[in-house]
A and B are shown apart, each in its own frame.
Chain A
Amino acid sequence: MTSVRESTGPAGPDAEPVVEAVGLGRDFVLTEGPFLRRRRRTVSAVDGVTLTVRPGEIVGYLGPNGAGKSSTMKMLTGILAPTRGHLRVTGLEPSRQRTRLAGRIGVVFGQRTTLWWDLPLRDSLALTRHMYRIPAADHARRLAELTELLELGPFLATPVRQLSLGQRMRGDLTAALLHAPRLLVLDEPTIGLDVVSKSTIREFLLRLNTEEGTTILLTTHDLGDVERLCERVVVIDRGSLAYDGGLDGLRASVPTPRVLVVDLAAPAPPIGVEGGRCVRVDGPRQWLELSENPAAVISRVAQRHEVVDLTLREPDIEGVVAALYRGTVASGGV
Chain B
Amino acid sequence: MADVLARARESVAWPVRAYLLLAWTWCRALAQYPASLVMMTLATSLGVFAEIGAVIVVFGHAGRLEGFGLAEGLLIAGLSATAFACADMILGMVEHLGRHIRAGTLDVMLVRPVPPLVQMATDRFAPRRLGRVVPGAVIVTVALAECDIDWTLGRALMLPVLLVSGTAICCSVWVIGSCLQFFVADAREAANSVTYGGQALTEYPLAVYGRDVVRAVTFVLPLAFVTWQPVLYLLDRPDPTGLPDALRFATPVVAVAMCLVAAFCWRTGLRHYRSTGS
By a beta-carbon cutoff of 8 Å, the part of chain A in contact with chain B is 28, 71, 74, 77-81, 95, 98-100, 102-103, 105, 107, 109, 111-112, 114, 118-120, 123, 126-127, 130-133
Contacts and interface: CB of A to CB of B under 8 A. Distances in A.
A102 B113 contact: yes
Residue picked from A79, A95, A107, A109, most chain B C-beta under 10 Å? A79
A114 B233 CA distance: 48
A126 B27 CA distance: 13
A323 B109 CA distance: 37
B29 A123 contact: yes
Contact of B22 (A79, A102, A114, A127): A127
Interface stretch (B40-48, B52-60, B99-107, B212-220): B99-107
Contacts of A98: 110-111
B124 interface: yes
Nearest to B106: A79
Contacts of A130: 18, 21-22, 25
Contacts of A80: 274-275, 277
Interface string B23-55: 001101100000000000000000000000000
A13 to B, nearest CB: 29
Given A102-B113, A127-B22, A127-B25, A114 B108 contact: yes
Interface residues of B, number: 25
B185 interface: no
Given A107-B108, A112-B104, A123-B29, 9 more contacts: A77-B111, A80-B274, A99-B113, A102-B113, A111-B104, A118-B124, A123-B25, A130-B18, A131-B114
Interface string B78-103: 00000000000000000000000001
B111 A78 contact: yes
A9 to B, nearest CB: 27
Contact of A132 (B107, B113, B277): B113
Nearest first, the 8 A-B pairs at minimum CB distance are A102-B113, A130-B21, A80-B277, A123-B29, A107-B111, A103-B113, A131-B114, A114-B108
Interface in B102-149: 103-105, 107-108, 110-115, 119, 124
A28 B110 contact: no
Contacts of A127: 22, 25-26
B22 A109 contact: no
